[in-house]
Structure 1
Amino acid sequence: MRFYHTSTCHFLAKLIVVLTWGILCVRAVECIDYEAISCRKHTAFLTDFGGKGGGKTSNTEAFRKAICELSKFGTDGGTQLIVPLGKWLTGPFNLTSNFTLYIHQDAVLLASQDEAEWDLIPPLPSYGIGRDAPGPRWKRHHRWSRSRMVTKFRQGQLKNTRPYLIEIMFSDHVQISNLTLINSPSWNVHPVYSSFVVIKGLTILAPIKSPNTDGINPDSCSNTRIEDCFIVSGDDCIAVKSGWDEYGITFGMPTQHLIIRNLTCISPSSAVIALGSEMSGGIQNVRAENITAISSESGLRMKTGIGRGAYVKDIFVRGMTLQTMKYTFWMTGDYGGHPGDHYDLKALPVIQGINLKDVVAKNVTIAGKLAGIDGDTFNGICMSNVAIELSEHATNLPWNCTNIQGVSSQVSPQPCALLSDKKTDCPFPTDTLPVDKIQFQTCAAASCHRLKDSDISS
């Protein structure tokens, strides 16, 4: 096994903490510089632990052995594991603390099709059961055969919940950057029970008819930043969550202090940004700006219902540019789906302080469908400077509102009477969240590994 100490090197590419995609020299003694939350003292290569390229030999044990061995250096400046160019077949593996996984820009992680390699793990405590099936769920992984899993899901043949590509649990100061994620069987990126998470520069691609292939799902997380991402999805591009019914209420961990900026989304059957539906730990202080979407079902969607409890409040959105949408805004107080039949009928969500401003939407079928809950009005909705151009196929009633309360200013077409006309500029916070204060360091990795032809074959 070879470890290299870092040194100052000429800039070649970016390397980002935890999961990344960059340029690594091959058959040359050069160095790379990259930006990261923390620099690492030691460097190793997957091939140092028996990794075999070519996409035919399983590297599950090589990854697991590497990460186990490298974890010993966590208190000595940390380590980075470099995955060289080529195709690397693998089952699931866990990462470790004070660790960077560096993936060469021409490297592909391929999921093993041998289900024996896939562990089962318990359902998340804030969900109680698996989302697809009551039992355990398959362990997360970086890639899986989407078509096989989706076919089984649609045919009702799954006994376990589909895995997610990347799941970060109970962690802080994590960065996931500069990756392309393709063909997830379900959610793509799922940070849960974590804080100070930066997700930057991801390209996420899923067939537009693939079920539940959400792009990024911050779930019971505090201080998360999502920026500069391009997502094509069969479900929500970004879905903000915090647990499911009584399990989420009991676990009681909200998603809060979330930044979403510079997002481009295509989602013909779902939302650009969704709040819920699993939001039973609460969602608060979400800031989204500079959002672009085309051919998507809705710009901002609220999904909740009786039994969810908790709250969604202090939501701030500005600068949305939408083209060819079914809905600009869609709020639903009767969203179904429960982990069981015994949810609390008295657990009503509090929806308060939803601020939407500076929105341009064209070729829209329905300007807004905003439906609260009988006896549980959605309060404090504010819309200002919103210009919606309806399509030639638009409905005769551009706005449909029930059980909501709020104000509107300079909104066209004229919104429903429940959004009273009042000259106002909906607020957007001016303070800086702690996650936005993270400063990146310029880090360096030492001499590159000389690869054999067998290591880079594809």
Structure 2
Amino acid sequence: MTKKRKIFIVDSAQGAQSLQQALDTAARQGLVLHVPRGVYLCGPLRLPSGTDLCLEEGAVLRFDPDYTRYASNTVDVIAEDSDRALIIAQDARSIRIHGAGTIEAPGEAYVEGLLEEMGTYIPSRHRPRTLVIDRCKDVHIEGIKIGLSAMWTVHLIHSDDVVLEGISIINDRKMPNTDGVVVDACRRVSIADCVIDTADDGVVLKTSRGGDGAPIGECREIRVRGCKIISESCALKLGTESFADMTEILFEDCEIAHSNRALGLFSRDGGRLANVTFRRLKLECRETPEGFWGSGEAITATALDRRGTQAAGIIENVLFEDIDGLMEGAINLYADRPGMIRNVTLRRVDIRQQPGRFNACRCDVRPTKFDLAPSPDAAGRANAWVRGEDGKVIGLVPYPGGMPGVFASNVENLLLEDVHVSRPDPVPAGFHPEPIVILQDQTSVWS
């Protein structure tokens, strides 16, 4: 294999225009573009086919906070109200970003206030995602650091053969919707040995709709291993956008700390979630304020309809194996009607359950159909929560008879093998006296 020659960009004062020109030139000539130590002020960047970008240690790409500058980097898949990105690759092949340098997003510029009750900032309505890989093939992102995202950090859309290895994502834990890595309708994706610390989901798989309203594709053959994740929401997750199938998914050998939910599957939009394995995972789950979905659950799988025109898809053939750690919520498996969740195995699961700082002892089934309607009190997060006439957040409900260690409702063919939940003795107020509660043929509540 012929080793590529290197070229360097050396003038940080010229900023984005110089960097974009250098990217285009290097890709056209088959060269590695090295960015040396220094701070480079950037506007929108587009990665052409053949990009080989090395951010050397101490190199910082610092992006302009002006949202209007990124109108040329638009994306068909809308995230919240975001339709653009700081860096984008579209319909490109053979892209590599590597090195020990940093991509610095302008997240602080999109904070409009603090909602103390919910524990979150009030974000600007329009915020750019940081890095979007859209309809690309053969993408490698290795070693770099990404920080201070205003919105989703790395969004992979309808792309094939993607490797993320050894990257670090550090965001502000009060900034909503700053998911670490979003794998959206992709095939053959490997995410390994990454560090993710963020307010929203850590690694999340989705199957979204495009601008025409149709699903953009399935999610298949995704592997996540050896990652360390801190998340104020769900660390390793499928859904909630689930318009097409997600199958052949493997999460293994990861460590999850200080997360509201560790492992989650959420079926809402018609796609099937199947053949999913969570294996050899260590976790720590803590309660957060109501503004973040979840209630300290180690494992949660929920299936319920939220659209009158489309029933939720089936969750089936799911294995949780060799899972241990701590939770302040429960293991929660909830289907709004029988048959929506089936063939689930928990094997060698050892969890210590303790009261949280809120001692809420509630089952969180969000998002529900109510979360599709904008809420005037959600402070920039229209689908985060909606309050009922009683003033309480809809979808946060007490467990019947108190919070057990394992709660399953309307789950078919649930197998528990060597499952142990250690609890305080005597059990605290709000806890169910039984460690395991399994209910069948329950009446639909949320669909």
Q: What TM bracket, shorter-length normalisation?
A: 0.7 to 0.9
Q: How far did 1:98 drift? A: 2.1
Q: How far did 1:218 drift? A: 1.2
Larger radius of gyration: 1
CA contact (8 A) 1:366 1:390 kept: yes
Alignment pair present for 1:287 and 2:236: no
CA contact (8 A) 1:367 1:388 kept: no
CA contact (8 A) 2:253 2:280 kept: yes
- Alignment CA distance shift 1:242-1:398 (3 Å): same
Counterpart of 2:283 in structure 1 is: 322
Alignment pair present for 1:400 and 2:407: yes
1:57-456 residue pairs with structure 2 within 5 A? 57-73=13-29, 78-115=30-67, 117-124=69-76, 127=77, 130-133=78-81, 136-140=83-87, 142-151=103-112, 158=125, 160=126, 162-244=127-209, 250-267=214-231, 269-305=232-268, 308-325=269-286, 326-334=296-304, 343-362=307-326, 364-374=327-337, 376-393=339-356, 395=361, 396-405=403-412, 406-413=414-421, 415-417=436-438
- Alignment CA distance shift 1:279-1:346 (3 Å): closer
Deviations 1:120-142, CA, capped at 9 Å, x for gaps: 44442xx4xx3232x84355474
| Superposition RMSD in Å | 2.6
* Inter-partner Cα distance in structure 2 for 1:247 and 1:274: 26
CA contact (8 A) 2:207 2:245 kept: yes
- Alignment CA distance shift 1:348-1:247 (3 Å): farther
- Alignment CA distance shift 1:176-1:401 (3 Å): same
Q: How far did 1:375 drift? A: 5.3
3-state SS of the aligned residue for 1:70?
helix
3-state SS of the aligned residue for 2:129?
coil
* Inter-partner Cα distance in structure 1 for 2:130 and 2:123: 21
Q: How far did 1:154 drift? A: 6.2
3-state SS of the aligned residue for 2:176?
coil
- Alignment CA distance shift 1:144-1:98 (3 Å): same
- Alignment CA distance shift 1:121-1:85 (3 Å): closer
Deviations 1:42-96, CA, capped at 9 Å, x for gaps: 321123xxxx22xxx35111122112223322xxxx2211101111111121112
CA contact (8 A) 1:354 1:381 kept: yes
3-state SS of the aligned residue for 1:59?
helix
TM-score normalised per structure 1 = 0.71
- Alignment CA distance shift 1:366-1:251 (3 Å): closer
CA contact (8 A) 1:355 1:382 kept: yes
* Inter-partner Cα distance in structure 2 for 1:221 and 1:228: 20
- Alignment CA distance shift 1:122-1:180 (3 Å): closer
Structure 2: which amino acid aligns with 1:208? R
How many residues in Structure 1 have an aligned counterpart in Structure 2? Answer: 353
Structure 2: which amino acid aligns with 1:137? R
CA contact (8 A) 1:171 1:194 kept: yes
CA contact (8 A) 2:313 2:340 kept: no
* Inter-partner Cα distance in structure 2 for 1:168 and 1:392: 41
* Inter-partner Cα distance in structure 2 for 1:238 and 1:279: 15
3-state SS of the aligned residue for 2:23?
helix
CA contact (8 A) 1:40 1:80 kept: no
- Alignment CA distance shift 1:67-1:246 (3 Å): closer
TM-score normalised per structure 2 = 0.73
CA contact (8 A) 1:119 1:139 kept: no
* Inter-partner Cα distance in structure 1 for 2:73 and 2:235: 30
Moved more, 63-72 or 213-222: 63-72
CA contact (8 A) 1:245 1:280 kept: no
- Alignment CA distance shift 1:335-1:105 (3 Å): farther
Q: How far did 1:322 drift? A: 1.3
Moved more, 318-327 or 194-203: 318-327
- Alignment CA distance shift 1:346-1:89 (3 Å): closer
Structure 2: which amino acid aligns with 1:373? D
- Alignment CA distance shift 1:252-1:171 (3 Å): closer
- Alignment CA distance shift 1:41-1:392 (3 Å): closer
Q: How far did 1:113 drift? A: 3.3
Identity within the alignment, % = 21
Deviations 1:277-306, CA, capped at 9 Å, x for gaps: 11212211111111111111111111232x
Deviations 1:319-345, CA, capped at 9 Å, x for gaps: 011134411111222486xxxxxx553
CA contact (8 A) 1:282 1:311 kept: yes
Structure 2: which amino acid aligns with 1:292? E
* Inter-partner Cα distance in structure 2 for 1:335 and 1:123: 27
1:36-55 residue pairs with structure 2 within 5 A? 41-47=4-10, 52-53=11-12
Structure with the bigger RCO (C-alpha within 8 Å, sep 6+) is: 1
* Inter-partner Cα distance in structure 1 for 2:136 and 2:211: 24
Structure 2: which amino acid aligns with 1:202? I
3-state SS of the aligned residue for 1:397?
coil
CA contact (8 A) 1:246 1:344 kept: no
Counterpart of 1:5 in structure 2 is: none
Structure 2: which amino acid aligns with 1:265? I
